[in-house]
């Protein structure tokens, strides 16, 4: 039985006071530990330390949104996986489509980052997903399988790696694939990853309180990677509590 993971990706949002209030709000709701899923929040680097402090003592985990592939060195502006672990992070999102697009990240680079995450004892959340034109031309499964093959770390196991399927055209748009389409891609990811039944595969792309229940009920959907709706405590919590 896979325990679901609900992960909030705050992206480049939040100043200190707002970020701390949001993290503390989630931690407060999680306190009774009556929820049926693991909860993760991934704030920008500037809020990591205070977020870790705000959730200390609760069951809420904290993660980064990216890391460098190297442990240290002359990489101005970058942050290593080890630095994230050092702050108290347990996860790191890698290969988000916004990083693939804004920073030209390749599958090979994402794989190298995922390897460094594993070496630093962080769980990488490796993101994959097709663009709208790729879906329209019937290439979704081929594209996602290729990204998976190129970006999964060597030596990863179902316990140490999480995959997020995020159709690029569904991110921040309010649109989602049909439930059958989501399930089809997730089942393929499980098969092609070779990581088996224990692997957690998150769905991301306009997940919100109104559609979370049906998405999270799909057999191969093991949680959500939530962007916009993770910025409001009530919405994020409504998604977390929609886990069956
Ligand atoms: C994301 O960016 O990972 C995401 C899923 O965003 P949203 O929920 O806003 O579509």
Check pocket membership of 205 for ligand 1, CB cut-off 6 A. yes
CA of residue 73 to ligand 1 center, whole Å? 32
Residues 6+ apart with CB under 8 A from 66: 79, 92, 93, 94, 96, 99, 113
1-30 confidence digits (pLDDT tens): 899 999 999 999 999 999 999 999 999 999
CATH dotted code for 22-67+78-232 = 3.20.20.70
CB 40 within 8 A of CB 91: yes
205: nearest Cα among 127, 105, 92, 124: 127
Burial of residue 139 (CB within 10 Å: 0-12, 13-18, 19+) is middle
Compute the average pLDDT of residues 165-190: 98
Percent of the chain with pLDDT over 70: 100
213-231 confidence digits (pLDDT tens): 999 999 999 999 999 999 9
Check pLDDT > 90 for residue 176.
Answer: yes
Helices (H) and strands (E) in the chain, counts: 10, 8
Which token pair is 194?
């070779």
CA of residue 74 to ligand 1 center, whole Å? 32
CB 48 within 8 A of CB 62: yes
Which token pair is 37?
């899923």
Give the pLDDT confidence score for residue 141 in this predicted structure. 98
Check pLDDT > 90 for residue 50.
Answer: yes
Q: What is the DSSP letter of 77?
A: T
Give the pLDDT confidence score for residue 99 in this predicted structure. 98
- Tokens 């962007």, located at residue: 227
CB 161 within 8 A of CB 124: yes
User: From atom 1 of ligand 1, which residue's Cα is the shortest distance away?
Assistant: 227
Atom of ligand 1 nearest to the CA of 127: 3
CB 175 within 8 A of CB 138: no
Check pLDDT > 90 for residue 33.
Answer: no
Which token pair is 209?
């309180």
User: From atom 7 of ligand 1, which residue's Cα is the shortest distance away?
Assistant: 227
Atom of ligand 1 nearest to the CA of 207: 8
Check pocket membership of 235 for ligand 1, CB cut-off 6 A. no
CA of residue 211 to ligand 1 center, whole Å? 14
Check pLDDT > 90 for residue 32.
Answer: no
Residues acting as catalytic residues: 96, 166
What is the best residue among 12, 171, 174, 240 to mutate for testing ligand 1's pocket, by most ligand atoms within 8 Å of CB? Answer: 171
Which token pair is 169?
């055209």
Mean pLDDT value across the chain: 97
Summarize the chain as % helix, strand, coil (round to 5). Answer: 45, 15, 40
User: From atom 6 of ligand 1, which residue's Cα is the shortest distance away?
Assistant: 227
Which token pair is 139?
């290439």
Give the pLDDT confidence score for residue 118 in this predicted structure. 98
CB 78 within 8 A of CB 84: no
CA of residue 231 to ligand 1 center, whole Å? 11
Domain layout of the chain by residue ranges: 22-67+78-232
Give residue 37's pLDDT band: very low, low, confident or very high (50, 70, 90). very high
Compute the average pLDDT of residues 130-145: 98
Q: Cα separation of 219 and 229, whole Å? A: 23
pTM exceeds cut of 0.95? yes
């Amino acid at each position: 039985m896979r325990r679901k993971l609900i992960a909030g990706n705050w992206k480049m949002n939040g100043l200190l006071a707002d970020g701390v209030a949001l993290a503390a709000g989630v931690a407060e709701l999680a306190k009774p530990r009556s929820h049926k899923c693991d909860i993760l929040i991934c704030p920008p680097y500037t809020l990591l330390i205070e977020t870790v402090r705000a959730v200390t003592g609760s069951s809420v985990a904290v993660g980064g949104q990216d890391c460098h592939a190297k442990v240290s060195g002359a990489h101005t502006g970058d942050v290593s996986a080890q630095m994230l672990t050092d702050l108290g992070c347990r996860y790191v999102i890698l290969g988000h489509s916004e990083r693939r697009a804004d920073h030209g990240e390749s599958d090979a680079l994402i794989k190298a980052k995922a390897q460094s995450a594993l070496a630093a004892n962080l769980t990488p959340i490796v993101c994959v997903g097709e663009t709208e034109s790729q879906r329209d031309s019937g290439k979704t499964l081929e594209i996602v399988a290729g990204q998976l093959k190129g970006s999964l770390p060597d030596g990863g196991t179902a316990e140490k790696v999480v995959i997020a399927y995020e159709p690029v055209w569904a991110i921040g748009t309010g649109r989602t694939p049909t439930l059958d389409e989501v399930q089809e891609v997730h089942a393929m990811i499980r098969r092609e990853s070779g990581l088996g039944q224990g692997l957690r595969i998150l769905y991301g792309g306009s997940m919100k309180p109104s559609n979370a229940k049906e998405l999270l009920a799909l057999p191969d959907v093991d949680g959500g990677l939530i962007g916009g709706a993770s910025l409001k405590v009530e919405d994020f919590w409504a998604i977390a509590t929609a886990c069956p």
